[in-house]
């Protein structure tokens, strides 16, 4: 059995180096870090015998033309969160390159065409637009989203053009794709705890995320009596406290995170002008996401007496089930290869939940050591990468050869 993990592990380290930005590990799309990663991946794809190209938003594709034009697409995202890890997203791209390259060498031209994709901006760590790359492929990206700004005030459209990708006509959805396959790290500790090598994903939770701005009135901390203040900080604190109380009512049915809290101007002797927070609410059941929307609006009504509260929803994706035919094939394969496995619902969001809206989509999980992810401590063992790659390769062979 050829040692796929050896090549993948060295590639993880090589591509990983491109994400270093001063002391931070962060690769956002359309940045010098992204450009460096794209050139390494482009070379890997060419070495694997693929024709490479970019689409209008800068997704990088490596293609092996098949006897028919139907396309099996595989891969994952190339961007990371801030202070993120080397495996989230990138492991899926490299495993796809390795699997397809190995199949192409062994079997020659496939029946269906195969493409490996390195997707843009899945993490929304630079632009608020969610799932940029996959939504573009599905034809779900709207022109007005190109006006979204990053923290420096640059628009998404400008960043795409400046990065040298063709920016003009957005895709209205590729119709040649029949399947999307994504291998990904679990980003949790269940597989490790239960000593399972492969996760076969049945569903992905729905996501309801956005930003809330509490607009008060900046003023002097010493001369402004408490009864005359329009201080957004205690209002934001009360909002977060009550939102958390609501979420705790549903313990294991949903998760709710306030991951970002900013305030302006941020001097100790100045009453803040505004406070902005992000919310990230997820559940496998749509009814909890619907209730979250109601709760946010109820809290806004209860707390906006002295401070304006604006809620901006940036992502509202329903829970998705993945392709049952593909799940049956994967279950057959893990038994044939005698790998320990478990069916899983993904608590993390993935491009697959977008692709599943248009194409037959499946995900393969491999374990995260200590369940850690979205951290520079992210790690997956070589033997688990090998197992994941064997199953990915066998699955793509079933779909395309």
| Number of shown-chain residues binding Mn ion (CB under 5 A) | 2
| Number of shown-chain residues binding ligand HGY (CB under 6 A) | 4
State which residue, 33 or 113, has the beta carbon closest to Mn ion.
33
254 binds, among ligand HGY, Mn ion, none (CB under 5 to 8 A by kind): none
Closest approach of ligand HGY to the CB of residue 212, in Å: 18
Closest approach of ligand HGY to the CB of residue 366, in Å: 15
Of residues 156, 204, 284, 348, which one binds ligand HGY by CB under 6 A?
A: 348
Closest approach of Mn ion to the CB of residue 335, in Å: 27
Find the part of the chain contacting Mn ion (CB under 5 A) among 47-55, 64-72, 84-92, 257-265: 84-92
157 vs 131: CA distance, rounded Å: 15
Chain residues 105-124 in contact with ligand HGY, contact rule CB under 6 A: 122-123
State which residue, 334 or 348, has the beta carbon closest to ligand HGY.
348
349 binds, among ligand HGY, Mn ion, none (CB under 5 to 8 A by kind): ligand HGY
- Contact string (CB under 6 A) for ligand HGY, positions 358-397, x = contact: ----------------------------------------
88 binds Mn ion (CB under 5 A): yes
186 binds ligand HGY (CB under 6 A): no
Find the part of the chain contacting Mn ion (CB under 5 A) among 8-16, 81-89, 155-163, 375-383: 81-89
Closest approach of ligand HGY to the CB of residue 341, in Å: 22
89 binds Mn ion (CB under 5 A): yes
Of residues 62, 349, 367, 388, which one binds ligand HGY by CB under 6 A?
A: 349
92 binds Mn ion (CB under 5 A): no
196 vs 331: CA distance, rounded Å: 13
State which residue, 122 or 390, has the beta carbon closest to ligand HGY.
122
* Contacting positions for ligand HGY (CB under 6 A): 122-123, 348-349
């Amino acid at each position: 059995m050829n040692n796929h993990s050896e090549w993948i592990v060295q590639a993880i380290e090589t591509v990983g180096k491109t994400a270093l930005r001063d002391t931070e590990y962060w690769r956002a799309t359309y940045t010098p870090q992204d450009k460096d990663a794209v050139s390494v991946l482009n070379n890997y794809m060419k070495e694997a015998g693929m024709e490479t190209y970019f689409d209008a938003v800068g997704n990088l594709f490596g293609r092996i033309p098949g006897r028919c034009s139907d396309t099996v697409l595989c891969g994952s995202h190339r961007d990371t969160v801030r202070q993120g890890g080397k495996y989230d997203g990138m492991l899926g791209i490299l495993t796809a390159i390795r699997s397809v390259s190995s199949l192409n060498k062994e079997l020659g031209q496939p029946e269906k065409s195969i493409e490996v994709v390195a997707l843009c901006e899945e993490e929304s760590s630079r632009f608020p637009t969610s799932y940029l790359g996959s939504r573009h492929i599905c034809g779900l990206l709207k022109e007005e989203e190109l006006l979204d700004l990053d923290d420096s005030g640059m628009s998404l459209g400008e960043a795409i053009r400046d990065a040298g990708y063709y920016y003009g006509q957005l895709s209205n959805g590729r119709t040649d794709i029949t399947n999307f396959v994504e291998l990904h790290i679990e980003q949790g500790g269940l597989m490790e705890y239960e000593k399972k090598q492969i996760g076969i994903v049945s569903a992905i939770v729905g996501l309801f995320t956005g930003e809330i701005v509490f607009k008060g009135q900046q003023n002097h901390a010493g001369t402004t009596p408490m009864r005359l203040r329009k201080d957004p900080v205690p209002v934001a604190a009360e909002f977060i406290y009550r939102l958390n109380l609501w979420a705790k009512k549903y313990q294991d049915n949903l998760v709710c995170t306030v991951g970002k809290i900013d305030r302006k101007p941020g001097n100790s002797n100045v009453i803040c002008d505004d406070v902005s927070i992000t919310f990230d609410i997820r559940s496998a059941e749509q009814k909890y996401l619907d209730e979250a929307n109601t709760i946010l609006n109820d809290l806004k009504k209860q707390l906006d007496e002295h401070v304006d509260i604006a809620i901006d929803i940036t992502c509202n994706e329903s829970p998705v089930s993945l392709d049952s035919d593909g799940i049956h094939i994967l279950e057959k394969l893990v038994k044939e290869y005698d790998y320990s496995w478990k069916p899983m619902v993904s608590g993390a969001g993935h491009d697959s939940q977008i692709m599943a809206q248009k194409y037959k989509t499946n995900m393969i999980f491999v374990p995260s050591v200590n369940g850690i992810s979205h951290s520079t401590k992210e790690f997956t063992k070589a033997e688990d990468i090998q197992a994941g790659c064997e199953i990915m390769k066998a699955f793509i062979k079933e779909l395309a050869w």
